[in-house]
Structure 1
Amino acid sequence: MGLKDRAPRWVKDVANVATRQYAAATSRWRPWPDFLLIGTKRGGTTSLFNYLLQHPGILGMFPQARGLKSPAYFFEHFARGESWYRSHFHTSAYRSTAARRLGYRPLSGESSPYYLYDPRIAARVANAMPSVKIIVLLRHPVKRAFSQYQDNVQNGLEPLSFEDALAAEPARVEGELERISADPFAYSFAHDFFSYRDRGVYLPQLERWYDALPESQLLVLPSEAFYADEQAVFDQTCSFLGLPPYALPRKERRNHVPAPKMNDATWAELCDFYAPHNEEVAKRLGPAFSWPT
């Protein structure tokens, strides 16, 4: 265990505040991120982001030792302002030094699966960084919903059975979408964590991003392709970002939650529910998104 790991909690908190104050004070020299990995939740987002961090041309968030995936700026901390957000990325001088070592410009980015689902975020991102590149992983929506439920159970957030949680979803999220739409600084825990069914209706979420940014700046991939061949999807992502090829030294799936078998009747009901939505996604994106039911 290193000295940093042995430090008392209050020492770490003071260090975190001091680091963020320094970074915010120098934010004018900190460019916006080059890419965002925006979801879907339980679709391999964390794993792909951590694979990208293995590439020598990808910079972690500042300070890199914290291992931060996202500052959740565009939904939870939007009131903190752009300087606070940009404080999480390296300076132009640091990037220039890295570029001389690499022989090409390194990239920075962050990852949050809620960015795809929150209806306010596409417009916010496009307004702040119109040239940013967006990466999306979409998973079979029935499996995605069940995986989100299992993750919530594992983290002590969900006391209900999956069937009861699906039944409770409308009441749990009632009025939340309207509330966050009316308040630019509001965040809804229920909308984020208990929208099991609705979060798998992908096309409206995607269309917000297609409306906000040129399609050439979006890369949408099926999670199943990533699970089947992580290196191939990693290579495709690097090509999209303009990075040279790189063989992954480590392949470790993050946040994997082994799930028990779903109730057959629940599986059938959800497949029926998603069938027309999946058909629309396949029409928009191609047959790779024709999930078997």
Structure 2
Amino acid sequence: MPRRSRLPEPLRRIVHAGSRSYGRWTALRRVLPSLLICGGHRCGTAGLHQMLAAHPLVLRSARRDGVSFFDTSYERGMDWYRGHFPRQRTARRLQRRHGGAANAFETSPYYLYHPYAAVRIARDLPGARLLVMVRDPVDRAWSHFQAERAAGHEPEPSFARALALESARLRGQEERLGVEAGYRSFAHRHHAYRQRGEYARYLERLAGQVGRERIHVVEAERLWLLPDEVYAEVLSFLDLPQLGPPPPLPPLSRLDAPPTGSDASPAESTHPGVRTRRELSAYFAPHDRQLTSWLGRPPIWRIPIEEETP
């Protein structure tokens, strides 16, 4: 029998639909997540997801790419959401085997940015803990632009031009998301290159709904440089025992690599360019300063290299 990933697309859709229906029918016998990786976009959430999924007391959702319930699928209802998670008997079996509470989780980076996801999470998962990853917002914006270009969601070949178009593209979109039932904004999901790097603004909104004590912020650069240390900090926040070393992080993809290069060419199709980097860095400076209260120090990308050496 062929693997599901090699099935023809029409048949794969039928298999997926059947799996989702079965999950909904058995929803009451399934666990709800006690933790969420809810952002940020292009900040290394896949690596953190992989590390947590390897923990013996952690159960991931059936969808590796995120359930996206509290942002774009909320109208499907809680039974649909529960259907993506393991059965309660699976959680009990892990608890007996490892002597601790099992935790289910999922990763949906758009939760951090959708204007109503935080309200929904607070209402439906009142005890869940939230992990938010942040990254140098200039690198994040460039990685985001590259990813949207690669996916065919961004027709503009110039990064600088896409940044200039952002305000017009996003105008009124959050308001429509709040008043039009079922409305999904393509621009809000795909073209918020600058806006999504304003991390403190989104963290404050999230904390206003779920409480600051339930949020832990992880810097992507620290995860890549010090995975053992960051892994231990995350497990401590989640009250999970460390039952072994963290699994190795997946290698950085081309899209995640920090941008390099000299001044941009007219089309800026290969790198953002020194001028664009400087303008973005200046733009993000006040937003980065607001992160200090969350991290207890300036973000790692704002610390001069000489200050990092003990």
Tell me if TM exceeds 0.5.
yes
Provide Cα deviations, 1:144-174, integer angstroms capped at 9, x if missing partner: 1111111112222223210000011112222
Question: Equivalent residue for 1:17?
Answer: 17
Structure-2 separation of matches of 1:3 and 1:281: 45
> Displacement of 1:230 after TM fit?
1.8
> Displacement of 1:32 after TM fit?
1.5
Structure-2 separation of matches of 1:207 and 1:44: 21
Misfit runs of 4+, over 6 Å: none
Amino acid at match of 1:250: P
1:174 correspondence with 2:171: yes
Q: Which runs of 5+ in 2 are unaligned?
A: 262-271, 304-310
Q: Superposed, which structure 2 residues align to 1:182-197 within 5 Å?
A: 182-197=179-194
Question: Equivalent residue for 2:120?
Answer: 124
Structure-2 separation of matches of 1:21 and 1:13: 12
Q: Which has the higher contact order (CA 8 A, sep 6+)?
A: 1
Structure-2 separation of matches of 1:20 and 1:176: 30
> Displacement of 1:202 after TM fit?
1.6
Is the contact between residue 278 and residue 289 of structure 1 (CA under 8 Å) also seen in structure 2? Answer: yes
Structure-2 separation of matches of 1:38 and 1:281: 17
Provide Cα deviations, 1:38-85, integer angstroms capped at 9, x if missing partner: 1111111111111211112211213xxxx5231111111111111101
Match for 1:133 among 116, 125, 129? 129
Q: Superposed, which structure 2 residues align to 1:263-282 within 5 Å?
A: 263-282=273-292
SS in 2 for 1:221: strand
Match for 2:98 among 90, 102, 116? 102
Structure-2 separation of matches of 1:263 and 1:280: 26
Q: CA-atom RMSD, angstroms?
A: 2.0
Is the contact between residue 37 and residue 112 of structure 1 (CA under 8 Å) also seen in structure 2? Answer: yes
Question: Structure 1 residues 290, 15: closer, same or farther in 2, change over 3 A?
Answer: closer
Is the contact between residue 227 and residue 246 of structure 2 (CA under 8 Å) also seen in structure 1? Answer: no
Is the contact between residue 31 and residue 104 of structure 2 (CA under 8 Å) also seen in structure 1? Answer: no
Give the TM-score normalised by the residue count of structure 2.
0.87
Amino acid at match of 2:28: R
Identity among equivalent positions (%) equals 32
Paired residues, what number? 289
Structure-2 separation of matches of 1:230 and 1:288: 20
Structure-1 separation of matches of 2:61 and 2:239: 19
Q: Which runs of 5+ in 1 are unaligned?
A: none
SS in 2 for 1:269: helix
> Displacement of 1:142 after TM fit?
1.4
